Amino acid sequence: MSISATEVSKIYSGQKALDKVSFSVKPGEIVGFLGPNGAGKSTMMKIISCYIPQNSGSVKICGLDVLESELEIKQKIGYLPENNPLYPEMYVTEYLEFIGGLYKIKDVQNRVEEVIEMVGLQKERHKKIAALSKGYRQRIGLAQSFIHNPEVLILDEPTTGLDPNQIVEIRNVIKQIGQNKTVLLSTHIMQEVEAICDRAVIINQGCIVADQSVESLKQTSGNEKSLKVSFVSEIDREALQKVLNVKSLKEMNSGQFEIYSKDLLTTKNTIMKFALENGYEIKNITEGTDSLEKVFRTLTQNKSNT
């Protein structure tokens, strides 16, 4: 495994930030590490990156223990922290050459050229970091995280401060990098996870509450599933609500509805019978999946309310 965490706990001032957390990430996987504020995401990422030690449990990176092989592990990982620390008085190229020098990269100037192109910093390369927007500073942080060609990338909120176009560009960079590296990605943007990640690990109150593929999470989120139905013409919404006897009947557009039900087969048969008896023509009827955002809310709210 590229990342292996077993029964990891961390205590701050008598409070558990992590409570026996276990998960693993295989080589070549891009895994989303999700959780509400204060759930323990950043703490876990700092432990993986050898910035802080755990109180108990074990963490191994590429087979090396974080408590025993800190220097070797730091050569194998790249880390973009949530609060991206940079030297604002340095120029972009100067800073990246400096970071490359710390890693003793051979032909560092060519490597800097490569990462500048990958993250789209060509036009800003001769500027001081202090003169750049937050979005471009985030690109510099991403560039320094993989300039030494690490096996594992730890990215904590990598698209913070980026506009929608920049977010898409950085997503593509991460997907490209993830083709031959292991990536652990923390974010609050659920669309980002759906667009990039193979799997999602959700943490809440220091405990893992889910660890599945993104599609599996969306399919197994709860008791109620969605059904989308479109009629050719407008229909009597109240009459449909009455025969279905469901709480959630959302009209998306004229003649188009989204229905949540515990028994989709019965609901689908009832809709077809309703249409036949009232002379309505059904255009299409499909089963939907929950958004990852809804799944996330369900898993984290349920945990906090127990």
Work out the angle between the directed axes of helices 108-119 and 134-146 (0-180°, nearest 10).
Answer: 130
Strand 3-12's sheet: what is its strand order?
15-25, 3-12, 56-61, 64-65
pLDDT of residue 305: 41
Do 177 and 140 share a structural domain? yes
136 belongs to a structural domain: yes
Give the whole-number percent of the chain exceeding pLDDT 70.
Answer: 94
Cα 169 to Cα 210: distance, rounded to the nearest angstrom: 29
Buried b (16+ CB within 10 A) or exposed e, 35-72: bbeebbbbbbbbbbbbbeebeebebbbbebebeebeee
306 belongs to a structural domain: no
We report the CATH number of the domain holding residue 183 as 3.40.50.300
Do 232 and 154 share a structural domain? no
pTM equals: 0.76
297 belongs to a structural domain: no
Do 150 and 92 share a structural domain? yes
> Which residues lie below 8 Å from residue 123, measured CB to CB, with a gap of 6+?
none
207, pLDDT greater than 60:
yes
Q: Which residue has the tokens 């515990």?
A: 262
List pLDDT tens digits, range 245-273. Answer: 776 688 888 888 888 777 888 889 999 99
300 belongs to a structural domain: no
115, pLDDT greater than 90:
yes
SS3 271: helix
234, pLDDT greater than 80:
yes
List pLDDT tens digits, range 38-95. Answer: 899 999 999 999 999 999 999 999 999 999 999 999 999 999 988 889 999 999 999 9
Do 280 and 202 share a structural domain? no
Q: Give me the domain span that covers residue 127.
A: 3-219
